[in-house]
Structures are given as structure tokens and as C-alpha cells.
A = this chain, B = another copy of it.
């Protein structure tokens, strides 16, 4: 219930006010983020939880061909191509039952995956996205734990929910996205 309420509040806070998101969260919540709860023996209890794997993102040089592989060769259910100009990508969602793959292809000149495809001409796994129950709490906690983040505040991701990317150098060479569940 609390997590749901916080999630709704967070959506309101982040949409259109992303730079001020943290300040828009009600003060009790903001306070709770900075005061770790301690349980017996002084072990700090985390205020946020990691959830399910939302998706694996795969950058591809040829979206038609990649879609055909998953749809026609592997027999998966795939979406139509979804242009996401605000994220600089075209996306095709590949349903796998428990999670999904997201095929990404550059859209526009400033696409964030253009550089990746320059280095990986055949395509490749670009990032994994794991859900969290409270992205603001996670961000505060990860900063304290010296994990570098790729933007100062969460942004609204491809699914309309707040997301944050963690630096691959702090995650075993893997670009990890966390997304509000």
C-alpha cells in the first residue's frame, strides 16, 4: 500500500518536473530515504527492494531482420515496431512469458545506441533492466554505496515509468537500468 502510494506520488513528481523530483516527494518519505532503519545487531535494513528482470535490451543494426529472427525462426510473439523519438530508438518487444527482450535500433542523429552499434557492428546485448519497488530510495542508497549513476535524477523510461542507469564500470561491465515497478 505504501509502496503503491509512493509510486503514484513519484509518477506525479517526476512527470514534467524531473529536475525537482526528489523535492516533490512528501517530506515524510524524503526523510525516510535518508534515515536507514536498523534491525537487531545493527544491520541496516534496506528501504527498497530489487524486483524482477523487466527486460534485456539488444541493439540491432537491422530491425526487420532481428524481428524476423525472433518471430519467424524462434517463434516468439513480437510487437509492432514502436518509435520512441524521446529516447532516440525504435523498439520491438519480444515476449518470453516471464520477461521480454527489447530490440533497439537508432532513431535520429543523437540516438544513445549509435555509438554502441559503431563498436558492435553485428549488434549485441546493450543493457539489462531490473525493477525496484522504490526508485528514489534505491538512488539514495546506491549513491551512498558509491555506485555511479548516469543522470542526476531519474528519467521517464520507455514504459512511462521512472528509470535510472548505473555505470557499467561499477557493475562488472554491464549497463544496468533500474525501473520503478
Contact = CB atoms under 8 A, between A and B. Distances in A.
A166 to B, nearest CB: 9
A171 interface: yes
- Each complex incorporates copies of this chain amounting to 2
Given A75-B49, A76-B50, A128 B171 contact: no
Contact of A125 (B99, B101, B125, B145): B125
Interface in A61-82: 61-62, 65-66, 69, 73-76
Interface string A29-62: 0000000000000000010111111001010111
Contacts of A171: 69
A169 interface: yes
A56 B128 contact: yes
Interface stretch (A19-27, A116-124, A153-161): A116-124
A73 B122 contact: no
B49 A172 contact: no
A147 interface: yes
Contacts of A75: 46, 48-50
Contact of A173 (B74, B120, B145): B120
A96 interface: yes
Contact of A53 (B98, B145, B169): B98
